[in-house]
């Protein structure tokens, strides 16, 4: 697992895929590989980014390695999903931001836990979040941003949800490297998740 983490952090696509296949052959579960290697690896990448030791190109290279690994794991993770959905969760990266590293990991963790995740993708404007809430009737919405300059769009989404009269119907979660608990409280969101598992635990607590 430690070797796999190193490979993802380095952005080594080919060896990442080979290592995952080896771990699966050795009897490791897809969920363990996700939780013990891929998520910690991307957490490490996020830390390096915050310390200015990694830059956007480094993030993209690591993300590509993680995504290629996830292509192997996704079918296996979906087989292990609960048959009954715990609830719908709408997820998207806000307008102006094209990064989906954290969003992809959150989606995988929540699906494993039994939630139905509606992934809107990246560069999503406020009105699209509102439309998704009206269409899917989720109990919670997740907003992701990797760049400080796109964090303002999170506030715009919260405002749009309020203006549409939907605020009381959904919990709003925020995530991403530059986001903080204080910022979440400031713009009127319900929760800031520093990692996918904290988001999962919060949602489980909400549904009781």
Q: What average pLDDT values come out for the chain (208 residues) when binned by 10 residues?
A: 95 95 96 90 82 84 88 81 77 94 85 88 98 98 94 97 98 94 97 90 92
Q: Does domain 2-79 have CATH number 3.30.70.360?
A: no
pLDDT at 108: 81
Q: CB within 8 A of 147, min separation 6: which ones?
A: 96, 97, 99, 178
- Domain 88-207 CATH class label: alpha beta
Ranges of each domain in the chain:
2-79, 88-207
Q: What is the pLDDT of residue 48?
A: 87
How confident is the model at residue 84, as a pLDDT?
67
């Amino acid at each position: 697992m430690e070797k796999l983490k190193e490979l993802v952090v380095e952005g080594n696509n080919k060896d990442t895929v080979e290592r995952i296949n080896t771990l699966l052959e050795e009897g490791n579960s897809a969920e363990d590989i996700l939780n013990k290697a891929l998520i910690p690896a991307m957490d490490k990448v996020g830390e390096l980014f915050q310390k200015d030791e990694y830059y956007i190109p480094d993030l993209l290279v690591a993300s590509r390695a993680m995504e290629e690994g996830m292509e192997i794991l996704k079918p296996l993770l979906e087989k292990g999903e609960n048959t009954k959905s715990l609830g719908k969760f709408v997820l998207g990266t806000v307008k102006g931001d094209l990064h989906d590293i954290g969003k992809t990991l959150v989606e995988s963790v929540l699906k494993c836990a039994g939630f139905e995740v509606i992934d809107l993708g990246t560069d999503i404007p406020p009105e699209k979040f509102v439309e998704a809430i009206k269409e899917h009737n989720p109990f919670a919405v997740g907003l992701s941003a990797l760049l400080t300059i796109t964090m303002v769009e999170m506030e715009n989404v919260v405002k749009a949800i309020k203006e549409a009269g939907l605020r009381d119907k959904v919990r709003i979660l925020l995530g991403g490297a530059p986001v903080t608990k204080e910022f979440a409280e400031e713009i009127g969101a319900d929760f800031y998740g520093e990692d996918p598992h904290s988001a999962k635990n919060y949602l489980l607590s909400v549904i009781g």
